[in-house]
Amino acid sequence: MLDRRKFIRFSTFTSFATVLGKKLSATENSITIKDQPLVVSTWDAGLRANKAAWDVLSTGGRALDAVEQGVMVTEAEHNCCVGLNANPDRDGFVTLDACIMDEFSNCGAVAFLERIKHPVSVARKVMEKTPHVMLVGEGAQQFAVAEGFPLEKQELSPEAKISYENWLKNSTYKPPAINVENKKDHGPFAPFKLENGEWNHDTIGMVAMDAMGNLSGSCTTSGAGFKMRGRVGDSPIIGAGLFVDNEVGACTATGQGEDVIRVAGSHSVVELMRQGLKPEAACKKVIERIIRIKGKKANDIQVGFVAINKKGEVGAYSIHKGFSYALKNGKEEKLVPAKFMMP
């Protein structure tokens, strides 16, 4: 039988759950609405992704569901660098990387995954249904199919076909250039500036806080365009492309994955927040660390971080001008240019 204290707590829980119209999976101790829900994600595609995340957050859903639903929007779009419609590797195959992490430090990832439309959802299945954190390549694909994900056709989207044919004319695999004015000259690593002067987005990373104040994050990408076959970047690496610590904050990264991995980027940002730095200051410190390591080569790469802390404060920083993040909460919805170290 329930004692009175337990009964009160239980009924508080159930009425809250009923008000929100959702089955809540959080423990009864965390049933306090102390924070407004919030979602941030990388680049302008984040604006559309945030809307789907907000549908979950604004109805009392879990941040984990929000960050999955959110980036699935981008995975299904036609763009250069996320999902099956993105640019292929140098052998002409689209290979995808993704990860997800929740408020309990559960995490799952897939890398070098082919012919599956929603890698982030496979990453979530890895987290929930296996004793592992990461599956790659053929094994990841087998697992996805066993879990009921359809195997899509192996074909390039019309846009990717054109990009790949253009790339094949020179097949350059030069170091990435950031200050280029058109697609033709860009190195294998996005982001790059379009002819209309806008920056193309690539990877989408998303971090969110739900109405319980719980944090989760996701990250999904096709990685670097025209990369070596088998290359995996930071995006599916927990601690590099994404890190969540429900006591402290969450961070995700975009840009040249090799240099994010080198400094365990997202984890480093969260650890700096743990030491008391605000999100922007923490992101800046890790960007400075990358620049210190790279020296002059930092001119040629872009890396950006965006982070939130447990208070719902948001911050971002990038090496170069041009990185922006999308933010949505109960009051506003906007694209915010990140501060940067170099023009």
> Which residues are annotated as catalytic?
203
**CB-based contact 250:216 (threshold 8 Å):** yes
Q: Report how many residues bind ligand SD4 under the rule CB under 6 A.
A: 14
CA 201/CA 203 separation, integer angstroms: 7
- The answer to whether 235 contacts ligand SD4 (rule: CB under 6 A) is yes
Give the interface segment with ligand SD4, choosing from 242-250, 254-262, 266-274, 330-338 (CB under 6 A).
Answer: 254-262
- Cα torsion through 105, 275, 251, 93, rounded to 10: -80
- The answer to whether 74 contacts ligand SD4 (rule: CB under 6 A) is no
Of the candidate residues 69, 216, 221, 252, the single one contacting ligand SD4 (CB under 6 A): 221
- The answer to whether 255 contacts ligand SD4 (rule: CB under 6 A) is yes
- At 275, which helix (H) or strand (E)? none
Residue ranges of alpha helices (H) inside 223-329 are 257-261, 265-274, 279-294
Instruction: Give min distance, CB of 193 to ligand SD4, in A.
Output: 13
- The answer to whether 268 contacts ligand SD4 (rule: CB under 6 A) is no
Instruction: Give min distance, CB of 257 to ligand SD4, in A.
Output: 2
CA 208/CA 271 separation, integer angstroms: 18
Of the candidate residues 103, 234, 271, 280, the single one contacting ligand SD4 (CB under 6 A): 234
Give the interface segment with ligand SD4, choosing from 25-33, 115-123, 131-139, 216-224 (CB under 6 A).
Answer: 216-224
Instruction: Give min distance, CB of 143 to ligand SD4, in A.
Output: 21
Taking the least distance from each CB to ligand SD4, the nearer of 7 and 173 is 173
CB atoms inside a 10 Å sphere around CB 146:
10
Please name the residues in contact with 14: beta carbons below 8 A apart, sequence gap of 6 or more. Answer: none
Of the candidate residues 37, 46, 83, 191, the single one contacting ligand SD4 (CB under 6 A): 191
- Find the angle CA(69)-CA(70)-CA(72) to the nearest 5 degrees: 65
* Residue 280, helix vs strand vs coil: helix
Taking the least distance from each CB to ligand SD4, the nearer of 143 and 199 is 199
**CB-based contact 138:111 (threshold 8 Å):** no
Task: Using CB under 6 A, list all residues that contact ligand SD4.
Answer: 190-191, 202-203, 221, 223-224, 233-235, 254-257
